[in-house]
Structure formats: structure tokens, C-alpha cells
Chain A
């Protein structure tokens, strides 16, 4: 049975990672940056699952386990980021991360 192959998946993952990095570098809104982080994480997770299917020893699910942990920790991270963001917002009325500059003075 022909198959799309490992490399095709890796390319998709690399594209997601690169796009996420682009978002992270250019966005100023903290929520949008967080969206970029999710893209990066999904790129990595897709890599893990693809490798698990194509190149890990048969019968082991290490890559999938890792992906489960990525998903859980991403949720926790998003919760923390939004909790802190809401505090910042209630103080400064802004969610732009480079306007969070009372520290620079």
C-alpha cells in the first residue's frame, strides 16, 4: 500500500513551526503570541506522532505519550498566561506585550 511517507508529515510540522515562529516574532498582542505558541507546539506534537508511527521501534508509543504531555502542559500554560494577562489588563488596560514596559523606565 503506497503511503504519503514520513517526510510529508515532517514538512507539514516544519511549516507549522515556522509559521508559529513568524507569529511570535511579529505579533504584539499577547493573545496572538499565545496562538503562535500553539502552532509551534502543534508542529512539535505532529513530529512526535509521525515519528512514532514511522521510525520508533514497533509496539512502543513513546511519541504519542509525549504528545499527550504536550497537550496537557499547553493547556496549563495557556491558563497561566491568561490569568496573568487579565491582571495586567485590569491594571494597564492593554494586552500589547511591548507596551508592558513600566519596567524599562
Chain B
């Protein structure tokens, strides 16, 4: 392959057009490098400086996306084949939504990191570099339109996360959590790559755009493509903490630095969903595994990815909620609750429809993402504030919080009520939207499973709420919470209540981000 002048100018053109949509990622890359370098100087920098650098970069990146919000789909990078541009990344409203989601989550987590006593010692800049690097990987996940970029994005986010989870190297829990995360994570990504290799073989291309045409062109390979995409789904499920790759979640959530647990439970999950949705959408709705190739089955018998996702959804929520019942550690309880929420969110994915017709379903799903962001980060923020002050993580230690710290208690209760999904919170509206879309999409059994699961989950959410408000504490004292922290908690919890009542504008707004 010789590079002629013509081709060179084509490449130059692609790079220049791509660069503008890629500025947030460039900002984050520079911040990662700056954070890694800033500890090398002779003079010790103040512990707060790396946090501010990270915050500045994340904020700038978010601001750039808001200002240059993509109106339509524009391809970034990639190559030209004939006159067809095969992009590596795409910049569209869907990607922008999830990028902002990830950046906002890391911005909320930053103050938690900066207050955490364990992270407030010397040489913490690596931790912030890892946080920013994980966000960078997730931005790539959200916008990748190529199998290689999907793989690279997932690995980028994962590797930074492995290191961050095991960051407290002298702490047994953190190291063990890191070990489990990295070992099972590499297994999951190995399975995913094997699936990707089969997809590549079946389509002859790494571009996601070529998937759909292959599926419609050759019906006979549907079984192979289905097996391949189930293998790929294993990798996505690991990031989403959904069945069948959810088992790592409680151990990692319990052992990781608490701010990073909060980050994983929101940002990592959302990025996993973003990449999964984009991959599934590339197949189109007609993608079914047909068993007509085999003898003795009626014509057209089979199932499609809708049923596979629905099954994963039902199993995730059941596995999460049932295991959460007997948890005594609040982090483990929230971990199982986050597995269950992966199930609720997958329910929304199962009924997604591509193209413009899907905006209603996308609206419901993305609305639930916003609510999930608020309630899960809100809950983790309160848990963080309590843990920093009491050093305890058991549900036992939350007894009497209502009297010891009324503000935190009310905030945590609101988040828990919303996670459970009862009015007047955003969680209720979000779940209602999702369930109505699921019923409309013809998966009534799944809605019933979700209903039963909500009832089951009431037990453990209310167990905690009861401990907070009704039980008596042994020690009534509680160190004061600074006004800045109160404001941050309020900024997460107040919208949750507002979304429980004035939800219409937001749910209308989220319809605009479909694929």
C-alpha cells in the first residue's frame, strides 16, 4: 500500500474533521499525563492539587460537550473505502449523553476522593490519574463504532479501574478486591474478544455499520452470529455488573476505595450500557436465532436478542435482590442493589427499537439513567460521609442516624425510597416509564418479574430505613457535616424529589438522545 498524495490529503481531512469532536478526550489525556508528572517534581505538591487538576480537566471536557452538543451523527476518524467513511468513533447525541453522564459522575466523586482520609495522604496524584483515565476509557466506550474501539475503550476503562480498586496496597480488602476484579475482568474480556473475532469473521469488517448489512444479507449464519454476540455480551455484562457476569460486584464494591465504588456503580455501568446498546442497535430488531436449520422444528421458531436481554434482565434483578436480603454490610447491600438495577435497566434495553421509532423507549431508559445517577451517587455520598466519620460500614452502625444526623438520614432515606421505586421520588416515575414501555413492548412476564422484585427489595431497603429512623443508637454523637457537603448532597437529592413530581420536561428531553 503506497501512500499517494491524494490519500494523504484524505487522511489529513479525516483527522481534521475528527479532531473537533475529540477535544474532550484530548483534554483528559493531557490531564492524565499532567497528573502522572506532577508528583515527579522535587517539591511536594499540596495534596489537594491533583484533585483540582482532575476537576478542571473533567469540567472543561464536560463544558466542551455541552457547548458543542452534536446535532446529528458525525463520524470521527476511521478510513474511507471507496466513498464510504468507516468511522472508528461517532459523535452523536447518544454518545454525548453518556459522555456527560460519565464526566458528571466523576465530578461528583472527586470531592469524595479529596475528603477520603486514606486518599488524602502523600502521593495521591496517581489515583486521580487513574480516575481520569477510567473516564477517558468510558468516553471512548460511549462513542465507539468499531469493534477495535469497543475493545480498546473497555480495556482502557477496565485497566484504570483494576489499578484504582487495588490502590490501597497495604489494605487486605482493597488488594483482594483488585485481584478478583482484574482476574475475572480479564476472563470476561477474553470471552468478549473471542466473540468479537467471530463477528469479524462473519462480517469481514471491524466496522459496526457492516454488521446490519451482514445480518440481513445472510440468514443462514444467524446462529453463529448469535453465539458470537452472546460471547460479546459477556464482556459488556461484566462492565454493567449484570447476570451472568455480576459475581465480582459485591467483593469489589466492598473492598475498593469507597469513592471509586461509587464511581464504578454509576459511570462504569452506564458506559457498559452505552457500548452494549450501540452494539445491539447495529443488528437491528429482526436479529433472531433461527432453529429452522435444524430438523424437526417449525418454521420461524427461534428467539432474538430481545429475549436474551430480557432473560439476563430478569436473572440480574432476581439475583441482586435475593442476595441483598441477607447483607449486613451497607456496601455489599448497595452492590447487590446495583446488580438489581442493572436488571431494571436491561429491561429497558430489551424493548429498544432502532431508528426514530425508538425515541419513546430511549426516553424511558435514559430517564431512568438520570434518576439512577442521582439516587445511587446520593446514597453513596451519604455512606461516604458516615463512613469517614464513624469508620463503620455495617447496617448496624446506621442505627439512630435519624437523631444523630437528621440531614444525612433524610437524604439517605430519600435515595433508598427512590431506589425502591415508590412515590414521590424520581425512582418511581422512572420505573413506571420503564415498565409501561416493557408492557407495550410485549414483555409482560418481565414486567411481572420486575414487580415481584420490587416487592422483595422493599424488605432490605426498609430494613435500613428502619435502622436509621426507629432503632436506637448506642452512641448518639455524630461529628458535624460541613455546609459544602450538605450542599452537594442536597444537589443530588433535591432533583430526585423534583423529578418525582415535575418529570415531564426531563422525560421529554431524554427522548432526543436515541440512536
Chain A residues at the B interface, C-beta cutoff of 8 Å: 10, 13, 17, 20-21, 24, 30, 33-34, 36-37, 40-41, 43-45, 47-48, 50-51, 55-57, 59, 62-63, 65-66, 69-70, 73, 76-77, 80-81, 83-85, 87-88, 91-92, 97, 100-104
Contacts and interface: CB of A to CB of B under 8 A. Distances in A.
B187 A69 contact: no
B175 A40 contact: no
A33 B190 CA distance: 12
A48 B197 CA distance: 5
Contact of A97 (B155, B173, B179, B205): B179
Contacts of B186: 34, 37, 77, 81
A83 B186 CA distance: 15
Contact of B198 (A37, A47, A65, A81): A47
Contacts of A44: 190, 193-194, 196-197
B197 A51 contact: yes
Nearest to A30: B183
CB-CB nearest 4 A-B residue pairs: A47-B197, A40-B190, A51-B201, A100-B176
Interface stretch (B111-119, B144-152, B282-290, B364-372): B144-152
A92 to B, nearest CB: 6
Given A37-B187, A70-B193, A100 B148 contact: no
Nearest to A91: B172
Nearest to A21: B191
Interface residues on B, range: 35 or more
Contact of B251 (A13, A45, A103): A103
B151, B152, B173, B180 interface centre (most CB from chain A within 10 Å): B180
A87 B204 contact: no
Given A51-B200, A69-B152, A103-B254, A17 B194 contact: yes
Contacts of B183: 30, 33-34, 37, 81, 97
A5 B177 CA distance: 44
Contact of B179 (A24, A30, A43, A66): A30
Contacts, number: 132
A104 B251 contact: yes
Nearest to A78: B186
Given A45-B197, A88-B172, 8 more contacts: A41-B190, A47-B197, A55-B204, A57-B205, A73-B155, A77-B155, A87-B166, A100-B176
B110 interface: no
B197 A56 contact: no
B426 interface: no
A97 B422 CA distance: 40
Nearest to A103: B251
User: Which of A30, A50, A57, A88 has the most chain B CB within a 10 Å cutoff?
Assistant: A88
Interface string B201-212: 100111000000
B40 to A, nearest CB: 20
A66 B182 contact: no
Most A CB contacts (10 A, CB to CB) among B175, B178, B250 go to B175
Given A24-B187, A103-B255, A62 B200 contact: yes
B484 interface: no
Interface in B128-164: 147-148, 151-152, 155, 159, 162-163
Contacts of B193: 40-41, 44-45, 70
Nearest to A63: B200
A21 B191 CA distance: 9
A105 to B, nearest CB: 8
B276 to A, nearest CB: 19
B83 interface: no
B179 A81 contact: yes
Nearest to B198: A47
Contact of B175 (A17, A41, A91): A91
A66 B255 CA distance: 34
B182 A88 contact: no
A22 to B, nearest CB: 12
Given A37-B190, A47-B197, A103-B251, A57 B204 contact: yes
Contact of B201 (A36, A37, A47, A97): A47
A7 to B, nearest CB: 11
Given A100-B176, A102-B176, A80 B159 contact: yes
B463 interface: no
A80 B187 contact: no
B251 A88 contact: no
Given A40-B194, A55-B201, A66-B147, A103 B175 contact: no
B472 interface: no
A80 B182 contact: yes
B487 interface: no
25 contacts: A21-B191, A33-B187, A34-B183, A37-B187, A40-B191, A41-B193, A44-B197, A57-B204, A62-B148, A66-B200, A70-B151, A73-B152, A76-B155, A77-B189, A80-B162, A84-B182, A87-B169, A87-B178, A92-B176, A97-B179, A97-B180, A100-B176, A102-B176, A103-B177, A103-B254
Contacts of B217: none
Contacts of B169: 87
Given A34-B183, A55-B204, A102-B172, A84 B197 contact: no
B180 to A, nearest CB: 6
Contacts of A13: 197
